[in-house]
C-alpha cells in the first residue's frame, strides 16, 4: 500500500518531476504548490504498474498572494516558467482570486483552495522547500487516491450546483480510459431534495 513516505520517495526518484519542482521553486512564489494531475497521475501510474509516463494536460502551479489579484501577473509567471522549460504545459493560478471565478467564499491559503477542488484524488499538492525536502499536502486525505476511488470533495457535496461541476468533469476527463482500475463514485441527485450522497 502506498503511503505518504512512498509517494514522496517515488516523486524524488522521478528526475522529470524533480526538475519541474525545482523550476517552479525558482519563482519564489508565496505559498506555492504544484497540484492536481501532476501528483495524481504519478500515484496512479505507480499503482497501475505503468513504466511510461502518461500525458498530462498541464502542470498546475498555484500560489496565494492577496496583494496582487491581477491575472496578468499569473501570465507573466507562466511566461517565466516557459522560458526555463518551453516544452512544459505550465498553468499558473493565484488562489487568492480563484474564489471569484468559483463563486464561493475567499480561500484562506493554497491548501484551503486545494481542499475545494472537485475530486479528492485531485486535491493534492507537492512542493520543494529551500533544503530540497519534498512536502505533500492532501487536505482530503490519501485514502481515495491510494485506493483509486474517485469521489467528490466535501466542498462539492455541500451544494447541488457544485455537484454538476463534479459530474461534468468526471465525464469530460474520462480517466477510466487510461486508468482502468479506478472506481468512480457518482453523486445521487433526486430533484430538490439534494443531499450530496454518493
Statement: residue 29 has pLDDT above 70: yes
Query: What rounded mean pLDDT belongs to the chain?
Result: 94
| Listed residue (178, 143, 155) closest to 55, CA to CA | 178
Measured from the Cβ of residue 121, the count of other Cβ atoms closer than 10 Å reads: 29
User: For residue 136, what is its C-alpha cell?
Assistant: 505533500
For the chain, which residues make up each domain, given as ranges? 4-145
* Per-residue confidence (pLDDT) for residue 90, from 0 to 100: 98
**CATH code for 4-145?**
3.30.460
Side by side, the strands of the sheet bearing 125-128 are 90-94, 59-63, 33-35, 125-128, 134-137
Question: Quick check: 125 and 17 in contact, CB under 8 A?
Answer: no
Question: Quick check: 116 and 104 in contact, CB under 8 A?
Answer: yes
Longest CA span, the chain: 52
Residues 142-197 have pLDDT tens digits of 999 999 999 999 999 988 888 889 999 999 999 999 999 999 999 986 555 566 67
Amino acid at each position: 500500500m502506498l503511503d505518504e513516505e512512498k509517494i514522496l520517495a517515488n516523486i524524488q526518484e522521478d528526475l522529470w518531476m524533480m526538475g519541474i519542482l525545482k523550476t517552479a521553486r525558482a519563482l519564489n512564489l508565496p505559498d506555492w504548490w504544484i497540484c492536481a494531475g501532476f501528483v495524481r497521475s504519478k500515484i496512479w501510474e505507480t499503482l497501475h504498474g505503468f513504466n511510461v509516463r502518461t500525458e498530462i494536460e498541464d502542470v498546475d502551479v498555484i500560489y496565494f498572494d492577496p496583494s496582487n489579484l491581477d491575472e496578468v501577473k499569473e501570465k507573466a509567471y507562466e511566461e517565466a516558467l516557459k522560458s526555463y522549460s518551453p516544452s512544459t504545459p505550465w498553468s499558473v493560478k493565484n488562489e487568492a482570486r480563484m474564489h471569484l471565478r468559483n463563486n464561493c467564499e475567499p480561500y484562506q491559503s493554497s491548501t484551503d483552495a486545494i481542499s475545494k477542488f472537485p475530486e479528492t484524488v485531485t486535491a493534492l499538492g507537492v512542493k520543494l522547500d529551500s533544503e530540497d525536502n519534498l512536502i505533500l499536502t492532501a487536505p482530503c486525505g490519501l485514502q481515495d487516491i491510494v485506493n483509486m476511488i474517485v469521489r467528490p470533495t466535501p466542498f462539492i457535496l455541500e451544494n447541488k450546483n457544485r455537484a454538476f461541476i463534479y459530474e461534468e468533469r468526471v465525464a469530460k476527463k474520462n480517466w477510466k480510459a487510461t486508468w482502468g482500475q479506478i472506481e468512480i463514485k457518482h453523486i445521487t441527485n433526486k430533484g430538490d431534495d439534494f443531499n450530496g450522497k454518493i
